[in-house]
Structure 1
Amino acid sequence: MFLLISKTNKITKVYLENMTGIEQVDILIKLCPRMNYLQINNINDMEVELFLKEILSIQMEDIDNCLCSLCFRIPLLDDQMMETLEEMIDHEKLLINYTIKRVCDNIYLHWR
């Protein structure tokens, strides 16, 4: 049943108000293989670096998925956090061709 739904599903944009665990993203990526944009308003108490690393690792493992844009809200976002995220992405080679920007409390990440 799950496989049938994922093959016929045409959802490309997903907005989550709350996320309680990274498992939700993994299921969404499998359920919506055509999803290219994911926005998460609240990642609760998850560590930002771990959250981003897990999503990008899921992305790298599944070459058939279309996810290439991510937006998530960090209420106490500052320049240091942005720098830390960029350094992590570069150091761990999670993405090669990407842009990351901050707009208020939101992080927008786009890659090819």
Structure 2
Amino acid sequence: MEEPNYKELIPVRQCKYEEKDGLVTVSFKKESTKIGKIFFKWIKDRPHRIDLDEIGSFVWGKINGVLNVGEIIDITREHFGEKVEPAEERVVIFMKQMHRTKLIMLYEKVVEKE
């Protein structure tokens, strides 16, 4: 199966988040396995939290369901310059990780035919 061109995909947030002093914390519930539910039934489903760094928080702020990953890479590169390089690789890896953990969804742009 061919890997998609991530630069053309549009990310959309799928979880709650908080922003404080320019840094973002995302929170989500982790799905338990059947065995995990049996052994840890007394533990309540507490949300997991991930604290994003300055660059991750900036990228998260650009995820709006309109910009594609390529546009977010360009904006991030303009904002951070050399500090973020290699920007394309870093942002794509970030998007893959967020997608794998279901914190974002990645959609192809729908082009309406006339």
Do these two structures clear the TM 0.5 threshold for a shared fold by scoring above it? no
Find the structure with the greater CA-based Rg: 2
More strand by share: 1
Higher relative contact order (CA 8 A, sep 6+): 2
**Structure 1 length as normaliser, TM-score?**
0.29
Question: What TM-score, normalized by structure 2, do the two folds share?
Answer: 0.28
